Structure 1
Amino acid sequence: MSGMLDSGARLTADTGEEVKVSGLLGAGGQGEVYRVKTSIGDQALKWYYPACATAEQRNIVESLVGRDFEDDRFLWPRSFVTGGRAGGFGYLMDIRPDRFKGLPALFRRQLRTSPLALVTAGLHMVEAYQSLHSRGIAYRDISWGNIFFDPDNGDVLVCDNDNAVSEGDSTGISGTMEFMAPELVRGDAGAVPGTQTDLHSLSVLLFMLLMNHHPLKGRAELEIRCLDEAAEKRLYGKRPVFVFDPVDDANRPDPVEHTTVLATWAAAPPILQKLFAQNFTEGLHDPTRRVRETQWRHALSEVRDTIVVCAECGRQNMTEPQSATAGACWSCGRGLILPPRLVVTTLSPKVERNLRLRRAARVYAHHLLAEPDRHRYDEASLVAELVEHPRKPGKYGLANRSAESWSARRSDGTVQQVTPGQTVPLRAGLEFGLGSAARAVVRAD
C-alpha cells in the first residue's frame, strides 16, 4: 500500500527535530496516517492531501499544537511537521493502542462487549468532550469515525482532533451530515458550528453507541428511494423526526427492518429514554433545550452504578436508578432480582448516590465527591468492593480498599472499626463513614 510519503522519508517538526517515515498506517478523508520514528519513540503522523493542505487548515493545526492540551482521552496534535513533496504538512500524535476499537465494528457486531462497558464508554465520551468545551474549544465533527473505545472496560480515545477550534471560530468544516445539528444541515442564517451544535452531535453518538441505530432513521428513511444529499437534508435538517417521538409516530422504527433498535430501546431505563426524547424533540428545534453534558453525566453514572446481572442467564441489565422494581431481563425474559443498595451520601454539599451491590460491585473515589471532575474506574481510585467470604459461599462483605479507617454501625447499634484491608459483613441497615467525605448505608429493597 503506497502513499504520499515514501518509507524512509525525513521530515522536520516545528521543534527542529527530524522524523523518519516508517510506513503507512491508514488513510481518511483529509489525509494519510504514517508510523514515524522520533527521539521519544514511534509516533503517528497525519499528512494532509494537497487539496486539504490549505492555509486555513494549517492555521487550525498550528493553533491546536500551541494549546499544549494534555488529556489522555485525546490523541492531540503534538508537533507541526513540514517537508516532503510540494511543501506539504501534517502533525505528530501518539499511536492509538490496539485495545481501542472503532464504533463501526460495534455496529457490525464484530466486538464482544457488555452494557457496563457501553455505558462506561458513553460516560467517558461525555466527559471528554465536556473537558474540551470547558476550555473554550468546539470539536465540530463529533461522529462515529472519531471515537474509539475499549470493549472490555469502556475507556475511550478521541482521534482526528485537527478540526477543533475556539468557540466562535467559523473556519474549517461543519461536521458529518448524519451528526450535524439541524440548523447546520439547513444552513440557517447565523448558524455556525460550536459547543451548542456539538451537544446535538454528542447525543446522536450516544444514541448510536447504546441503541446501535441512528435516532432519526426510521420509516422515513426506508421510504427514500435515493439517499442523495437532498434526501439527507430532509431527513436530518428540514423534517427531522425522532424514531421514538412520543407525539409524532411518522418515523417509527419498522418492526421488520429495525428490530435491533426496538429491542435496545425497550431495554433502556426511563432516565435515558427521557433525555433522548428531550434532545430529539425539543432540542431538534430549540438548541437551548438540548441535553447538557452535566445531565448526561449524572444519568449515565447512575445507570452504570445500578446495572444488575440476571440470576437466570447471567446477562447484564440496565435498571432505573431510583426504582425498587427491575422488570424482566432483556435477554431471557425472566424477572430480575434487585440486590441491596448502597446509598452513599456526600457530606458537603449533600448529594445522594445509589449503587446496586451486584457481585464484585465497587465504590470509587468519585462516589465520595458531590461533583467529580471525572469518573475513574481504575484500581488507584478504588475505595471499597463487595467480596465473598472465602469459607462461606453466599456470604458477602464490603472490603475497605481505601487508606482511611471506617467506623461501621450495625443495625443493633454496635460499632466496628474497619481498617484498610479489612472487611465488614454485609447486612441491611449497616451504616459507616467512607473516610471524612461521605457516609453510606445498606438498604434492602
Structure 2
Amino acid sequence: MSGMLDSDTRLTTDTGAEVAVAGMLGAGGQGEVYRVKTPTGDKALKWYYPACATAEQRTIVEGLVGRDFDDDRFLWPHAFVTGGRSGGFGYLMDIRPDRYQGLPALFRRQLRTSPLALVTAGLNMVEAYQSLHSRGIAYRDISWGNIFFDPDNGDVLVCDNDNAVSEGDSTGISGTMEFMAPELVRGDSGAVPGTQTDLHSLSVLLFMLLMNHHPLKGRAELEIRCLDEAAEKRLYGKRPVFVFDPLNDENRPDPVEHGTVLATWATAPPVLQKLFTQNFTEGLHDGMRRVRETQWRHALSEVRDTIVVCAECGRQNMTEPQSSTPGVCWSCGRTLILPPRLVVTTLRPKVERNLRLRRAARVYAHHLVAEPVRHRYDDATLVAELVEHPQKPGKYGLANRSAESWTARKADGTVQQVAPGQSVPLRSGLEMQMGSAARAVVSAD
C-alpha cells in the first residue's frame, strides 16, 4: 500500500526529536496512519491529507498535545510532527495493541465475546468519556468507528482523538449522522456539538454495543426507498422515534428483519431498559433529560455485578440487580438459579452494592468506595474472591485478598479474624467487616 509518506522519510516533533517512517498501517477519512521509529520506541503517526491539514486542524492538534492528557483508555496525541516534501503535519500516538477489536466486527458477529465483557466495555466507555468531559473536553464524534474493545475482558481504547475540543469551541466537526443529537442533525439555531450532545452519542453507542442495533432504526427505516441525506435527517433529526418507545409504536422493530434487537431487548434488565427509554424518548427532545454518565456507570456496574451463569447451558445472563426473581435463561429457556448475594455497604457515606456470588466471583477495591473514580477489574485491585474448598468439593468460602484483616461474624454469633490470604466459609447471614472501608453480609434470596 502506497501513501503520502515514503519509508525512511524523516520528520521532526515539536520537541525537536527525529522520527523515521517505517511503513503504513492504514488510512481513514482525514489522513493516513504510519508506524514510525522514535527515540522512545515505535509509535503511530497520523498524517493529514492536504485538504484536511488546515490551520484550524493544526490549532486543534497543537492544543490537544499541549494538554498533556495521560489516560490509558485513549490513544491521545502526545507530540506534534511536521516535515516531509509537502510540508504537512500530523501527530504521534501509541500503537493500538492487537487485542483491541473494532465494533463493526462485533456487529457482524465475527467476534467471540460474552455479556460480562460487553457490559464491562460499556462501563469502561462511559468512564472514559466522563474522564474527558470532566476536563472540559467534548469528544464530538462518539461513534462505532472511534472506539475499540478487548472482547475477552471489556477493556476499551478510544482512537481518533484529534476531533476533541474544549467545551464551547465552535471549531472542528459535528459528528457522524447516525450518532449525532437530533438538534445537530436538524441544524437548530444555537445547537453546537459539546458534552451535552456527546451524551446522546454515547447512549446510541451503548445501545448498539448491548443490543446490536441502532435505537432509531425500525420500521421507519424499512419504508425508506433511498436512504439519502434527506432521509437520514428525517430518521435521526426531524422525526426520530425510539424503536421501543412505550407511547409510539410507529417505529417498532420488524419481527422478520429485526429479530436480533427484539431478542436482546427482551433479555436486558429493566434498569437498563428504563435508562435507554428515557434517553430516546424525553432525551430526544430535551437535552437536559439525557442520561448522564453517572447514571450509566451506576446501572452498568450493578448489572455487571449481578450477571449469573445458567446451570443448564452455562451461558451468562444479565439479571435485575435488586430483584430476587430468577427469570429464565436467554439461551435455553430454563429457570435461572440465583447464587447468594453479597451485600457490601460502604461506611461513609453509606452506599449499598449487591454482588451475585457466582463461581469465581470477585470483589474489587471500587466495591468498598462510595463513589469510585474508576471501576477496575484486575488483580491489582482484587480484595476478595469466592474459592472452593480444596478437600471438600462444593463447599465455598470467601478468601481475603486484601492487605487488611477482616472480622467475620457467623450466623451463630461466633467471631473469626480473617487475615490476608485466609478464607471464611460461605454461609447465609455471614457478616464481615472488610477492613476499615466497608462491611458485607451474605444473603440467600
TM norm structure 1: 1.00
| Residue 189 (structure 1) aligns with | 189
> What is the alpha-carbon distance in structure 1 between the residues aligned to residue 162 and residue 205 of structure 2?
19
| Residue 337 (structure 1) aligns with | 337
| Residue 442 (structure 2) aligns with | 442
Question: Structure 1, unaligned stretches of length 5 or more?
Answer: none
| Residue 348 (structure 1) aligns with | 348
> What is the alpha-carbon distance in structure 2 between the residues aligned to residue 331 and residue 24 of structure 1?
43
Amino acid in structure 1 at the alignment position of 2:106:
L
Residue 141 (str. 1) matches residue 141 (str. 2): yes
| Residue 395 (structure 2) aligns with | 395
> What is the alpha-carbon distance in structure 2 between the residues aligned to residue 149 and residue 176 of structure 1?
20
Amino acid in structure 2 at the alignment position of 1:158:
V
| Residue 375 (structure 1) aligns with | 375
| Residue 117 (structure 2) aligns with | 117
Residue 79 (str. 1) matches residue 79 (str. 2): yes
Deviation, structure 1 residue 169: 0.1
> What is the alpha-carbon distance in structure 2 between the residues aligned to residue 434 and residue 115 of structure 1?
29
| Residue 317 (structure 1) aligns with | 317
What SS does structure 2 have at the residue aligned with 1:121? helix
> What is the alpha-carbon distance in structure 2 between the residues aligned to residue 420 and residue 383 of structure 1?
9
| Residue 166 (structure 1) aligns with | 166
Aligned pairs for 1:50-69 within 5 A: 50-69=50-69
What SS does structure 2 have at the residue aligned with 1:85? coil
Aligned pairs for 1:257-272 within 5 A: 257-272=257-272
> What is the alpha-carbon distance in structure 1 between the residues aligned to residue 326 and residue 59 of structure 2?
53
| Residue 281 (structure 1) aligns with | 281
Residue 203 (str. 1) matches residue 203 (str. 2): yes
Amino acid in structure 2 at the alignment position of 1:411:
A
Residue 8 (str. 1) matches residue 8 (str. 2): yes
> What is the alpha-carbon distance in structure 2 between the residues aligned to residue 248 and residue 80 of structure 1?
50
Runs of 4+ in 1 over 3 A off after TM superposition: none
Deviations 1:114-171 (A, max 9, x none): 0000000000000000000000000000000000000000000000000000000010
| Residue 253 (structure 1) aligns with | 253
Aligned pairs for 1:83-122 within 5 A: 83-122=83-122
Moved more, 283-292 or 389-398: 389-398
> What is the alpha-carbon distance in structure 2 between the residues aligned to residue 434 and residue 232 of structure 1?
54
> What is the alpha-carbon distance in structure 2 between the residues aligned to residue 162 and residue 85 of structure 1?
23
> What is the alpha-carbon distance in structure 2 between the residues aligned to residue 235 and residue 31 of structure 1?
30
Question: Structure 2, unaligned stretches of length 5 or more?
Answer: none
Deviation, structure 1 residue 390: 1.1
Deviation, structure 1 residue 405: 0.4
Residue 426 (str. 1) matches residue 426 (str. 2): yes
Deviation, structure 1 residue 24: 0.4
> What is the alpha-carbon distance in structure 2 between the residues aligned to residue 86 and residue 192 of structure 1?
33
> What is the alpha-carbon distance in structure 2 between the residues aligned to residue 223 and residue 88 of structure 1?
46
> What is the alpha-carbon distance in structure 1 between the residues aligned to residue 70 and residue 108 of structure 2?
33
What SS does structure 1 have at the residue aligned with 2:161? coil
> What is the alpha-carbon distance in structure 1 between the residues aligned to residue 89 and residue 436 of structure 2?
53
Deviation, structure 1 residue 40: 0.4
> What is the alpha-carbon distance in structure 2 between the residues aligned to residue 238 and residue 86 of structure 1?
43
Deviation, structure 1 residue 84: 1.3
Deviation, structure 1 residue 7: 0.7
Residue 357 (str. 1) matches residue 357 (str. 2): yes
What SS does structure 1 have at the residue aligned with 2:397? strand
> What is the alpha-carbon distance in structure 1 between the residues aligned to residue 298 and residue 5 of structure 2?
46
> What is the alpha-carbon distance in structure 2 between the residues aligned to residue 239 and residue 185 of structure 1?
11
> What is the alpha-carbon distance in structure 2 between the residues aligned to residue 57 and residue 34 of structure 1?
19
What SS does structure 2 have at the residue aligned with 1:162? helix
> What is the alpha-carbon distance in structure 2 between the residues aligned to residue 232 and residue 390 of structure 1?
60
What SS does structure 1 have at the residue aligned with 2:193? coil
Amino acid in structure 2 at the alignment position of 1:112:
R
Amino acid in structure 1 at the alignment position of 2:171:
T
Deviation, structure 1 residue 234: 0.3
> What is the alpha-carbon distance in structure 2 between the residues aligned to residue 80 and residue 63 of structure 1?
10
What SS does structure 2 have at the residue aligned with 1:110? coil
Deviations 1:4-50 (A, max 9, x none): 10011011110101100000000011000000000000000000011
Deviation, structure 1 residue 392: 1.1
Amino acid in structure 1 at the alignment position of 2:246:
P
> What is the alpha-carbon distance in structure 2 between the residues aligned to residue 76 and residue 162 of structure 1?
8
Q: How many residues align?
A: 445
Amino acid in structure 2 at the alignment position of 1:81:
V
> What is the alpha-carbon distance in structure 2 between the residues aligned to residue 388 and residue 334 of structure 1?
26
What SS does structure 1 have at the residue aligned with 2:236? helix
> What is the alpha-carbon distance in structure 2 between the residues aligned to residue 5 and residue 113 of structure 1?
37
| Residue 217 (structure 1) aligns with | 217
Amino acid in structure 2 at the alignment position of 1:115:
P
TM norm structure 2: 1.00
Amino acid in structure 2 at the alignment position of 1:435:
G
Deviations 1:315-374 (A, max 9, x none): 000000000012100000000010000000000000000000000000000000000000
> What is the alpha-carbon distance in structure 2 between the residues aligned to residue 86 and residue 71 of structure 1?
32
Amino acid in structure 2 at the alignment position of 1:108:
R
RMSD: 0.4
Deviation, structure 1 residue 86: 2.1
> What is the alpha-carbon distance in structure 2 between the residues aligned to residue 402 and residue 237 of structure 1?
51
Amino acid in structure 2 at the alignment position of 1:93:
M
| Residue 308 (structure 1) aligns with | 308
Deviation, structure 1 residue 87: 1.4
| Residue 411 (structure 1) aligns with | 411
Deviation, structure 1 residue 85: 2.6
Amino acid in structure 2 at the alignment position of 1:64:
L
Percent of residue pairs identical: 89
Amino acid in structure 2 at the alignment position of 1:96:
R
What SS does structure 1 have at the residue aligned with 2:275? helix
| Residue 130 (structure 1) aligns with | 130
Residue 238 (str. 1) matches residue 238 (str. 2): yes
